[in-house]
Chains A and B, each alone.
Chain A
Amino acid sequence: MSDHDGDVAVDDGTRTPVALPVARFDDPHLQPLARHPARTERLIALTMLAGIGGVVWFGVAYVQNYSSWVLGVSLAVGLLGLGFGLTAWGKYLMPQGPFVEERHTLSSTEEERTAMAAAVTERTQVVVKRRGVLGGLLAAGMGLFGIVAIFPLLRSLGPAPGNLLEETDWKKGTRLVTITGRPVHRDAMQPGGIVTVYPLGLEKTDSGQATDQTVLIRVQDTDLVTMKGREDWAPDGYVAYSKMCTHLGCPVGLYEQELELLVCPCHQSMFNVRDGAVPQFGPAPRPLPQLPLKIDAQGYLVARDGYNQAVGPGYWSRTSTPRQNGAQ
């Protein structure tokens, strides 16, 4: 289509005529950017060889099971080498351009415009019929399908939690055991100690480790009363709190015995053990629920009752006040 004898107007009858420039071999736009293309090419070749070496090294390292960092370094060397080589080739060895292509005028011809206007205004005279019944049935079918398609999504949400978030497995008389299954005797801990306890038999289950987990702390004085109404919840200095932080549920295992502070490691909520785990600092909105304790006839620690409120972080339908039928 183009003519190589200098700038010439091209006209093949279908488009508005334009003047196209003629390419010349000494055009500066066609020259590569590099001042010494041969030297640059050798350098890029070396980079690509390094890349090939890196990729092969990765293959060997993978098959031979070398360390992760060897895999990482070899892959990095390989991909960086090949990538740098490719990019440098494009930047420094290709014609640098820029190349501009003149554009034909975009507006349509007069005949095309009149034909278009006629087609739009006279559409009603086109022979394709509207079929209302079929259209309606199709709409109904697609709509129903849309509704039915949501059913698997809804079921995959799982069963409604029901009472699961309100109740734990701690009941009246549940024995406290450690992670190894050993029940906690009243003489087992010295003042200043802390141990994580679970309901008997549930120490290895999911619900036991998730919602039932409780920290048992022994403080120095044996007649600790954390709050009014909890006079007999802490026998012999043993006091138990839910291990689920009331902020976002992290296990509050960090106990500082001299400060008598339970600290949550996630967002640093600090709970005062002596006052019923009231948060002294941090984002926790309410105290850790306390598990009332009792010492049974053989000297083992048991729960006097379950928790009198839901454990863990809040959600909008839960109440923050303890239940009325809580501990006696």
Chain B
Amino acid sequence: MLRRLLKNRYLLPTAILVVVGLGGFVGLTTAGAQTHPSTATTAVPTLYTSATTTTATAAPSASTGKPPSTTAGASHGGALVTPPGTTRTTARTHATACRKELERISYTSPPNSGSPKTSSHHSCVNGRIRTYGNTNILYASPPTSFEQAGEQLFQQVCASCHESDAQGGPLAPSLKGVGSGTVDFWVTTGRMPAATPLSVQAQTKPPKLSDRQAAEIAAWVTSLTPAPPFIPAVNTKSANLAVGASLFALNCAACHTITGAGDELAFGTNAPSLHTATATQVAEAIRSGPGNMPRFTGNLTDRQVADVVAYVTEKIQHPTNSGGFGLGGIGPVTEGFVGLLFGVGGLMLVCFWIGDRS
């Protein structure tokens, strides 16, 4: 029986088809996937609300298209909350310090586009801006209690390249003024600590530090020079997926591809797959522009960023795949491979069999 099978004319072509097909199939579909799932982060405010003061709700946000006001007195609808129990003079000093700090860290920007001063509300503790944002995205800085642990971690893990006061050196850039959201993005995606410091692009890999440790490092780095973006908590409940889809297609799909599978770019750089990114990481990347990714600030409002984040986390990461198997979402290469090898190859085997004379 086995000998008859081995002598069969169809054995060799079928074996080739099966081996090459399955091998290529598996190889191509796993190439597009990341090698690790990043840990799911809890929403930032629940981690830090114990340390923040109550935030004041705002005047309604200004209509789009209005030029942002640059006069110091007219901040766009936000009360600067002083901690309870302070006397009147210290309250006034607090308010002045908060206003100065708000001016210092904000960049002029249309309303609710990620700049603290033009966001619907912001809160301030001890002269430092603690949160800013609106109902779509709330940006929060990690609490100051994290700073000590963060400094220790930084000296252990980061200072070898970024130098002990984060001013950067020959191996790594300065981290002054990058914002806690930026630091949180690089560490929670595993890009930092970098595997090869002088490579053209730091690669994602399994994160070495936990989310809490990342927040601690972010707290310390941002305490040196506070700046936006803070760590965002995105509210995707009322997000408009259609708007998110069209914004994604216009802004993101060129590099990340329309299925979010990622792509190789120029000179050894690549846009990574979006299949394992969390909502926080997506928002942080949009607002901070890591590496070669452009930085989207004034022209995407927080609501639009929330729409894009919702689209990525809901549609991109859970594709419907009505064809049964998405083949990694890479596109015509895998689909052509499957169609030509299995479809046309199979048909060739069938034609061989039909025309075979015995």
Could you tell me which A residues sit within 8 Å of B by CB distance?
A: 33, 67-69, 72-73, 87, 91, 96, 178-180, 182-185, 187-196, 217, 251-259, 261, 263, 265, 268, 270, 281, 298-300
Contact = CB atoms under 8 A, between A and B. Distances in A.
Nearest to B292: A256
Contacts of B246: 179
Cβ-closest 9 pairs across A and B: A69-B324, A188-B298, A253-B254, A187-B108, A256-B292, A254-B254, A192-B295, A195-B299, A194-B294
Interface stretch (B62-70, B71-79, B91-99): B62-70
B293 interface: yes
Interface of B: 64-65, 67-68, 107-110, 113, 246-247, 250-251, 253-255, 263, 265-267, 269, 289, 291-299, 304, 322-325, 353-354, 356, 358
A263 B298 contact: no
B299 A184 contact: yes
Given A69-B322, A193-B299, A263-B266, A257 B110 contact: no
24 contacts: A67-B322, A68-B324, A72-B324, A73-B324, A91-B356, A182-B64, A183-B65, A189-B299, A190-B295, A190-B298, A192-B289, A193-B296, A193-B297, A194-B294, A195-B251, A195-B296, A195-B299, A217-B294, A254-B255, A257-B289, A257-B295, A259-B267, A263-B266, A270-B266
A259 B246 CA distance: 27
A187 B298 contact: yes
Contacts of A69: 322-325
A188 B297 CA distance: 7
A253 B251 contact: yes
B266 A182 contact: no
B107 A257 contact: no
Contacts of A188: 109-110, 113, 297-299
Contacts of A87: 353-354
B265 A254 contact: yes
B323 A68 contact: yes
Contacts of A281: 266
B294 A192 contact: yes
Contacts of B293: 257
A190 B107 contact: yes
B198 to A, nearest CB: 14
Contacts of A256: 265-266, 269, 292
Contact of B294 (A68, A184, A255, A263): A255
A223 to B, nearest CB: 20
Nearest to A280: B266
Given A69-B323, A254-B254, A256-B266, A189 B292 contact: no
Contacts of B269: 256, 259
Contacts of A257: 289, 292-295
B266 A265 contact: no
A259 B68 CA distance: 31
A185 B68 contact: yes
B289 A193 contact: yes
A190 B297 contact: yes
Nearest to B299: A195
Nearest to A265: B254
Contacts of B108: 187
